Amino acid sequence: MEKWNLFLEEIRKNIGDQDFVHWFSPIQLNSVEESKIILTVPNETFKEVLQESFFNVLSNQVKKIYGQDFKVEIFSLEEKADSKTKWQSFLNPNYTFQNFVVGECNQFAHAAAKAVANSPAKAYNPLYIYGSTGLGKTHLMQAIGNFCAGKNKMKVLYVSVETFYTDLVNSLQNQKLIEFRNRYRKADILLLDDLQFLTGKKTTQDELFHLFNSLYESNKQLVLASDHLPKDINGLQERLRSRFEGGLLADIQPPDLEMKVAILKKKAEMDNTYLPEDVALFIARNVRSNIRDLEGNFLRVKAFASFTNQPITLSLCQKALSDLKEITNGYLTPKEILKTVAHYYGIKVQDLKSKSSAKTYAFPRQVCMWILKKVTDLSYPEIGKLFGNKHHSTVIYSVEKIEEMREKSLELKKALEELLEQFH
């Protein structure tokens, strides 16, 4: 919400009070997705004016406040009410089975999704996909949607819990609950994403419970995704938990190196980019285990090559990605981690690397080793090298010592949490 206010404020500064009050104050933030924000406006006229007269200011500000790859999508309430004639699925057309790379880590979920796509409401209902963020849950669930919407012309509806929640709140405010219910109940396939956001939303859970029953009983398919198992979603109602667990639970695990390389190759093939083997390996090694970050880094390399008018080579890639690490906090280099820890304890990076066993230096050094082990892929010997070639047994000892102390000292636990927060 803070970002949204900032966004509005920047726009107001840009276009002046009068236009702002007239055209922007009636806008509602519908939802913030992965790479777009969705806005709702009262009617089609608003939508046209915004798209025609304020498009530049909107897209510039959204990039500035939400991120370079963000776009704005505008819906009018009229358009929503018109859903009788036009069915909106909210699917990303790129999220298909063809574009989904299958490996050991996602084989099971993929097979389950295929089975569901081939016989909706007959194979597994609901299908519940779970796994950490950025591993392909949304892609896979939308692949089911794209397949069924295309092949059988089924009414597919994709919605994240956050959007569902906003939609519900708006409907309650505008006394449009009946329309809200009808809209969701008309779906042949409901894809409900990010269930972890159900925490603490009682009305939403109640509404979802009835929607679930209604769809399930009329033989409609439900596909659910979350980064937690139903039993691990805080405050999830028992009756929802048992329904979510009533079908098939399928997990997606982080990809290994080989899989990461395969995904990069697939992405390169999709947009006809030549991607040398060593570059693919470099990018794959640099990303911990998140496919979204993997893609982000690849995009960055491609953009860098195109801006500088150079072919994609290993040295270009190293340059492109070293820049990235300076700008974003997505993946930090060991160098930056050392800098942050040193700063936290008020010492110099040199002190961390030194041989001094004075407690003022030795303790932060051990903490830093523990953090490196925690947030990077580096091996013990590799970590040792960063600290003036310390032997790997020293690193192991330090990591274990901090781990042990952490359990006993609340103060250290808190310090570590504060530090870790800066690395995510």
Q: Are 14 and 7 in contact (CB under 8 A)?
A: no
Q: Is 138 in the site for ligand ADP (CB under 6 A)?
A: yes
Nearer to ligand ADP, 66 or 100 (CB): 100
Angle at 184 between CA 178 and CA 185, to 5 degrees: 80
CB neighbours (10 Å) of residue 147? 22
- Closest separation in Å from C-beta 92 to ligand ADP: 8
**Interacting residue with ligand ADP among 120, 126, 134, 230 (CB under 6 A):** 134
Looking at the Cβ atoms of 47 and 137, the one nearer to ligand ADP is 137
Identify which of residues 81 and 111 has a Cβ nearer to ligand ADP in the complex. Answer: 111
- Cβ-based nearer residue to ligand ADP, 187 or 263: 263
Separation CA 122–CA 366 (nearest Å): 55
138 binds Mg ion (CB under 5 A): yes
Which tokens belong to 32?
């913030």
Element (H, E) at 404: helix 392-408
**What is the nearest approach in angstroms of ligand ADP to the Cβ of residue 86?**
26
Q: Nearest distance from residue 297's CB to Mg ion, in Å? A: 19
| Residue 297 within binding range of ligand ADP, rule CB under 6 A | no
- Dihedral-angle region of residue 73 (phi above 0 means left; psi in -120 to 50 means alpha; beta otherwise): beta
101 forms part of the interface with ligand ADP (CB under 6 A): yes
Q: How far apart are CA 32 and CA 157, in angstroms?
A: 17
Sheet strand arrangement including 221-226:
156-160, 189-193, 221-226, 127-130, 248-251
Binding region for Mg ion (CB under 5 A) out of 135-143, 176-184, 339-347, 379-387: 135-143
Stretch (H or E) spanning 205: helix 202-217
Closer residue to Mg ion, CB minimum distance, 138 or 366: 138
If the CB atoms of residues 138 and 398 are measured against Mg ion, the closer one turns out to be: 138
Exposed/middle/buried for residue 272 (C-beta within 10 Å: 0-12, 13-18, 19+): exposed
- Binding flag, residue 243, ligand ADP (CB under 6 A): no
Question: What is the DSSP secondary structure assignment for residue 156, as one 8-state letter?
Answer: E
Strands 36-41 and 71-76: parallel
In what helix (H) or strand (E) does residue 170 lie, and over which residues does it extend?
A: helix 161-173
Stretch that binds Mg ion, among 131-139, 200-208, 313-321, 410-418 (CB under 5 A): 131-139
Nearer to ligand ADP, 110 or 365 (CB): 110
For residues 252-271, which are near ligand ADP according to CB under 6 A?
A: 263, 266
Residue 101: which of Mg ion, ligand ADP, none does it interact with, CB under 5 to 8 A by kind?
ligand ADP
- The answer to whether 205 and 171 have CB atoms below 8 angstroms apart is no
Q: Which residues bind Mg ion (CB under 5 A)?
A: 138
Q: Which residues bind ligand ADP (CB under 6 A)?
A: 99-101, 106, 133-139, 263, 266, 291-292, 295
